[in-house]
Chain A
Amino acid sequence: MKLVSYLTATRGRSRLHWTDWLTYAYLCVGLFLMFGPVLWLVASSFKTEAALSEFPPTLLPYGQKSVMVPGEEKPKPVFRVKLPDGTMKELPEIRRIGLMATYVDPAKPEEPIRVNIKDRQPVREFRLATENYSDLMRKLDFGKYLWNSVFITIVATVITLLFNSMAAFALSKYQFRGRSGVFLFIIATLMVPPAIVLVPNFLVVTELGLLNSLWAVIWPAVATPTGVFMLRQYMLTIPDELLEAARMDHASEWQIYWRIMLPLSAPALAVLAIFSIMWRWNDFLWPLIVLSKAEKFTLQLALNAFQGDLITQWNYLLAMTVITLLPVTVVFAFLQKHITQGIASAGVK
């Protein structure tokens, strides 16, 4: 730490040394670079389609102001109009034909005013285009994608925790022939990244009849070597005497696992659960290969498919992106400390 507690120690007074200024400058640039793009995305996702196509873009979401006019069904856009007498006034536009537009003054609705469109300016106000979000639900199968993602994430995480902890229990608390062999085998699979068994795995999944099923994403993912390794290391720290006491207490081996080991491994399980949620929620390449029907798309696939369309509807795409990053952000906001510590100690991602 302590390079700098050393650095600052000699200038203990409350005045900041220039190196401190530099430090905070760096951190602020970091804050801007790391969060800025995300904030820009969120701000943009509340802009209307029209506002999104403006250049240069405005910083905050603005929309044209509109008001209800008596006798009209829809709200009418408001313009700042130069009246024939030379005064400026904000008036709703009833209709526009060619170069001429017609305005009414709500105070005097019986007197429409016709003005050349070069004498008007749209009036803009701060407005969140929440319809980007609400339309998502109606127009697109967004609910379905969301459900697919949630289903895969939760089911895969639960199975991962169960299978990995069972294996870790066997590897940490039993002496048996072949133990180190099994352990090495599992660790060796760490070296086989999914990217290099894409083709054969595709065959296996096809043969099992899992193509275009969410289980095609779940099953290959649940036996994580990282998880087994992490849980085993943790379980090694649980004293054997506890298991012996339980054995004396007539507990079956399954009960020992379920009622003693699992509750005691809760901290490690929590870290693995967080990892697993991140992994599955963010999965892309493998789902891209095995889920080709739109109704089976996960959020990530939907985003990808959507951005690849010929005419990208950025307003919906941005809203969808925001929703996709929302759960991760919320989890992170609450569990920041656990996540960073867990990752620092496990040294893996």
Chain B
Amino acid sequence: MASLELKKIIKDFGETRVIHGVDLQVDDGEFVVFVGPSGCGKSTLLRLICGLEHASSGDIFLEGERVNDVRAADRGLAMVFQSYALYPHMTVYQNMAFGLENMGLPKAAIKAKVGEAAKLLRLDTLLERKPTQLSGGQRQRVAIGRAIVREPKIFLFDEPLSNLDAELRVSMRSEITGLHRRLGSTMIYVTHDQVEAMTMADKIVVLRQGRIEQVGSPLELYNRPANRFVAGFIGSPQMNFLPVRSEAGSRLATTFGTAFSLDIESGLAEGKTYMLGVRPEHLSLEESPGALSLALKVVEVEQLGGHCLIYGMLPDGNTRITLHCEGQQSTQIGDAVVVYAPPANCHLFEKDGEERTIR
């Protein structure tokens, strides 16, 4: 268990800069998730923390001590790799014991620790098997077990569930969070899947192109995204965006004629274009006072039984809007429907630059 602090971390691979000055604080016992699109530098950041890569500049502090020059093995962290990286020629037991043997622990102690971890992960009956004789989920648990026996200060996971099928992914998700609750250790978890991030994290770090976009709890990110990127990345289906123009009296008009007013403390410059954002689950087929009405031509309907997703095209002909509604709907492709966006649930973003959130 330990705290971690990154200060102005920069990482270059040759000429290309992959991490652009990252500052981050991870507290003791937290479950932190790094999330972001593929190639944004999540793995690199994790490997920097773990010591498998060396930072080009900046400092890494572990429990208050600078560890930039400490070898990976000596940082006292454990990593669970995306491919599991199980030693294929060793049994499950040997895989878990290998690190302890290298540290020179007595045989009895190793046996006890491995046994304990195996019980925790329900691997006791599989100890003599080779990795190739295990299912995906079992391999995953062995990889975690290998980390557990070392009693690391921090667990690092690099997309550990991406090689599993959907069903197994869900159950392993709760298994890992359960483990976190039981062990109480600090864990850093990398994923590109925002659902994983939302369901598992105490704290989410959203990354894009080597920069941190926002840090916060899942609901903070959902309710108050810092910019359009985070707003679009968090939540599923994705938030709807449409361009609007500001008019006199804090009214906003769409490009196809409808308008409504939005309460904005700082006020808006007149005649500027903004991006209006509203989540599919906040749109409604029922009229509410002051809501923006959007006339859609339905292009696709997905009936999921418990709820349904309706996709429609705005009159401008190139903005697609997704609507999430409860229950089952009789709407058909080609129907014309009107949906309403209540002002309380609308977000507004700058149209250019960093597309920061205004509301």
Interface residues of chain A, those whose CB is within 8 Å of chain B, are: 239, 241-242, 244-252, 255, 259-260, 263-264, 266
Q: Are A239 and B102 also in contact (CB < 8 A) when A247-B52, A247-B72 are?
A: no
Task: State the CA gap A259–B97 with chains docked (Å).
Answer: 13
Select from chain B the residue with minimum beta-carbon distance to A241.
B85
Contact of B87 among A250, A260, A266 (CB under 8 A): A260
Number of residue pairs A-B, CB distance < 8 angstroms: 55
- Interface pair B87/A244, CB less than 8 Å apart: no
A-B contacts, 12 listed (Cβ < 8 Å):
A241-B85, A244-B79, A245-B86, A246-B87, A246-B98, A247-B73, A250-B73, A250-B102, A251-B98, A251-B102, A255-B102, A263-B89
Residues of B contacting A249 with CB < 8 Å? 73, 98-99, 102, 146, 150
- Interface pair A239/B73, CB less than 8 Å apart: no
Q: Are A245 and B102 also in contact (CB < 8 A) when A239-B85, A263-B89 are?
A: no
Residues of B contacting A247 with CB < 8 Å? 52, 72-73
Residues of A contacting B98 with CB < 8 Å? 246, 249, 251, 259
Task: State the CA gap A260–B99 with chains docked (Å).
Answer: 12
Q: A242-B87, A247-B73, A248-B79 are in contact. List 12 more A-B contacts (CB 8 A).
A: A241-B83, A247-B72, A248-B52, A248-B73, A249-B102, A250-B73, A251-B102, A252-B102, A259-B98, A263-B89, A264-B88, A266-B89
Q: Are A245 and B103 also in contact (CB < 8 A) when A251-B98, A260-B87, A264-B88 are?
A: no
Interface presence of B77 (CB below 8 A): yes
Q: Which of A245, A246, A252, A260 has the most CB of B within 10 A?
A: A245
Task: State the CA gap A247–B85 with chains docked (Å).
Answer: 12
Q: Are A245 and B88 also in contact (CB < 8 A) when A250-B73, A250-B99, A255-B102 are?
A: no
Chain B interface size, under 10 / 10 to 19 / 20 to 34 / 35 or more: 20 to 34
Interface residues of chain B, those whose CB is within 8 Å of chain A, are: 50, 52, 72-73, 77-79, 81-83, 85-89, 98-99, 102-103, 146, 150
Closest 3 A/B residue pairs (Cβ): A249-B99, A250-B102, A241-B85
Task: State the CA gap A248–B46 with chains docked (Å).
Answer: 13
Residues of A contacting B78 with CB < 8 Å? 248
Select from chain A the residue with minimum beta-carbon distance to B96.
A249
Task: State the CA gap A264–B306 with chains docked (Å).
Answer: 50
Contact of A248 among B86, B87, B99 (CB under 8 A): B99
Residues of A contacting B87 with CB < 8 Å? 242, 245-246, 260, 264
Contact of A245 among B77, B85, B89 (CB under 8 A): B85
Select from chain A the residue with minimum beta-carbon distance to B82.
A241
Select from chain B the residue with minimum beta-carbon distance to A249.
B99
Q: Which of A241, A247, A249, A259 has the most CB of B within 10 A?
A: A249
Task: State the CA gap A246–B71 with chains docked (Å).
Answer: 13
Q: How far is the CB of A247 from chain B (nearest CB, A)?
A: 5
Q: How far is the CB of B249 from chain A (nearest CB, A)?
A: 60
Task: State the CA gap A259–B89 with chains docked (Å).
Answer: 9
- Interface pair A248/B72, CB less than 8 Å apart: yes
- Interface pair B73/A245, CB less than 8 Å apart: no
Task: State the CA gap A242–B81 with chains docked (Å).
Answer: 9
Residues of A contacting B86 with CB < 8 Å? 245
Task: State the CA gap A102–B86 with chains docked (Å).
Answer: 85
Task: State the CA gap A244–B53 with chains docked (Å).
Answer: 10
Residues of B contacting A260 with CB < 8 Å? 87
Residues of B contacting A251 with CB < 8 Å? 73, 98-99, 102
Task: State the CA gap A250–B99 with chains docked (Å).
Answer: 6
Select from chain A the residue with minimum beta-carbon distance to B103.
A250
Contact of A264 among B72, B83, B89, B146 (CB under 8 A): B89
Task: State the CA gap A260–B52 with chains docked (Å).
Answer: 18
Select from chain A the residue with minimum beta-carbon distance to B75.
A248
Task: State the CA gap A263–B88 with chains docked (Å).
Answer: 9
Residues of B contacting A264 with CB < 8 Å? 87-89
Task: State the CA gap A264–B78 with chains docked (Å).
Answer: 23
Task: State the CA gap A248–B102 with chains docked (Å).
Answer: 10
Task: State the CA gap A260–B90 with chains docked (Å).
Answer: 9
Select from chain B the residue with minimum beta-carbon distance to A251.
B102
Task: State the CA gap A109–B236 with chains docked (Å).
Answer: 113
Task: State the CA gap A241–B85 with chains docked (Å).
Answer: 6
Q: How far is the CB of B224 from chain A (nearest CB, A)?
A: 37
Task: State the CA gap A142–B79 with chains docked (Å).
Answer: 60
Q: How far is the CB of B165 from chain A (nearest CB, A)?
A: 21
Task: State the CA gap A44–B226 with chains docked (Å).
Answer: 92
- Interface pair B102/A244, CB less than 8 Å apart: no
Residues of A contacting B102 with CB < 8 Å? 249-252, 255
- Interface pair A245/B81, CB less than 8 Å apart: yes
Task: State the CA gap A247–B78 with chains docked (Å).
Answer: 11
Q: How far is the CB of A135 from chain B (nearest CB, A)?
A: 48
Task: State the CA gap A126–B67 with chains docked (Å).
Answer: 84
Task: State the CA gap A242–B85 with chains docked (Å).
Answer: 5
Residues of A contacting B83 with CB < 8 Å? 239, 241
Select from chain B the residue with minimum beta-carbon distance to A252.
B102
Residues of A contacting B150 with CB < 8 Å? 249
Residues of B contacting A241 with CB < 8 Å? 81-83, 85
Residues of A contacting B99 with CB < 8 Å? 248-251
- Interface pair B81/A244, CB less than 8 Å apart: yes
Select from chain A the residue with minimum beta-carbon distance to B74.
A250
Q: How far is the CB of B164 from chain A (nearest CB, A)?
A: 17
Residues of B contacting A239 with CB < 8 Å? 83, 85
Task: State the CA gap A255–B99 with chains docked (Å).
Answer: 11
Select from chain A the residue with minimum beta-carbon distance to B71.
A247
Residues of A contacting B81 with CB < 8 Å? 241, 244-245
Residues of B contacting A252 with CB < 8 Å? 102
Task: State the CA gap A251–B98 with chains docked (Å).
Answer: 8
Task: State the CA gap A259–B101 with chains docked (Å).
Answer: 12
Task: State the CA gap A264–B90 with chains docked (Å).
Answer: 10
Q: How far is the CB of A5 from chain B (nearest CB, A)?
A: 33
Q: How far is the CB of B93 from chain A (nearest CB, A)?
A: 14
Residues of A contacting B103 with CB < 8 Å? 250
Q: How far is the CB of B189 from chain A (nearest CB, A)?
A: 17
Residues of B contacting A255 with CB < 8 Å? 102
Q: How far is the CB of A268 from chain B (nearest CB, A)?
A: 14
Residues of A contacting B88 with CB < 8 Å? 264
Select from chain A the residue with minimum beta-carbon distance to B83.
A241
Q: Which of A246, A255, A266 has the most CB of B within 10 A?
A: A246
Residues of B contacting A246 with CB < 8 Å? 87, 98
- Interface pair B73/A244, CB less than 8 Å apart: no
Select from chain B the residue with minimum beta-carbon distance to A263.
B89
Task: State the CA gap A294–B298 with chains docked (Å).
Answer: 96
Task: State the CA gap A263–B150 with chains docked (Å).
Answer: 24
